Amino acid sequence: MKCDILIHAPSGVAYTGHPEEDKFIGVPGVLLNETRKEFASTLAPDALVLTWKDGKEYGTERVLYSTVTGLKIAERKQSEIASVDSIAGGFLAGGLFSTIELALTNVKTLKIKTERKEYEIWVPQAAEWANRIHKQTPQLL
């Protein structure tokens, strides 16, 4: 028997085949205030899944939606994000921004607070991520 389900290996989340859903799986980003290489975020049905490269393996952390006590959009200078991770720097700079623009332009980040920890994450389209997470966290209403 052949299975045609595509799985994002680091997070273990299955792709749906719907681009509007799948664009939230394995998205490269930056977890601010932490040094994790090859960081990515995934919105699973029950949790925000954070993955990163840990030697030759992947590390993961699941932030269950049921534990989220706060969610907001914050802003950081592009230069702060670009200096943390080369993938983010390449995405933000995209060959279009000069060094001055990187230093002066702000980007949006997600601040997610749980009962035990607070996360600040830069991902492209942070507002869309916040909307999706908010839909999964009715305790924030």
User: Domain coordinates of the chain in residue numbers?
Assistant: 7-136
CA pair distance 41, 122, nearest whole angstrom:
10
Can you list the pairs that 38-42 forms with residues at least 24 positions away whose Cβ atoms lie under 8 Å? 38/87, 39/85, 40/10, 40/11, 41/121, 41/123, 41/129, 42/8, 42/11, 42/13
Q: Which residues contact 139 (CB under 8 A, 6 or more apart)?
A: 66, 68, 69
Could you tell me the pTM of the whole model? 0.81
Q: How many CA atoms lie less than 13 Å away from 120 in the CB half-sphere?
A: 14
7-136: CATH, from 3.40.50.720, 2.30.29.30, 3.40.50.280, 1.10.10.10: 2.30.29.30
Q: What single-letter amino acid sits at 5?
A: I
CA distances from 47 to 13, 15, 85 (A): 10, 15, 24
* DSSP H or E run through 41: strand 37-43
Cα–Cα distance list, 63 to 56, 122, 131 (Å):
23, 16, 16
Task: Return per-residue pLDDT of the chain as tens, 141 residues.
Answer: 456 789 998 999 999 999 999 999 999 999 998 888 889 999 999 999 999 998 888 899 999 999 999 999 999 888 777 765 544 545 555 554 555 455 557 889 999 999 899 999 999 899 999 999 998 888 776
